[in-house]
Amino acid sequence: MTKEKYSTEQMKELLTNPNVKSCTLKRMTCTDDFKIKAMTLYQDWRYSRKIFEEFEFPGFIINSNIPKRSLKDWRKKVRDWWMWALISSKRWRKKINELNLANMTKDEYIEYLEAKIAYQDELHKKVCKSAYP
């Protein structure tokens, strides 16, 4: 994680660049096309800062160590996981959806409560058995 934080003006300037997918206070995400083009240019012996200059990134990005670190990370991904890992933005674990009680019908809600009570009864029995052998 970088210690650098972007100001709102810097974030707006980064978001106007077509090669930036998203930008938060601490992180900038580049588009998949830019990553592939940057990797091919880097393989043609171009410096990382020059690559970011060619794609019109602002000076505060070019003069930092972000170009060097980014290309280093992308090279490692390509070396270890091939090209599909470079352009895949998906997380590996699926997000667990919380149960939304507001969208349940009455029958579903009653069934949910019965299952919850049965689970709590079983848990209570196990705790009581282990506490008093």
Position 85 scores a pLDDT of 63
Mean pLDDT on 111-117 = 93
Mean pLDDT on 33-59 = 92
Position 88 scores a pLDDT of 65
d(CA 108, CA 101): 9
pLDDT class of 94 with cuts at 50, 70, 90: low
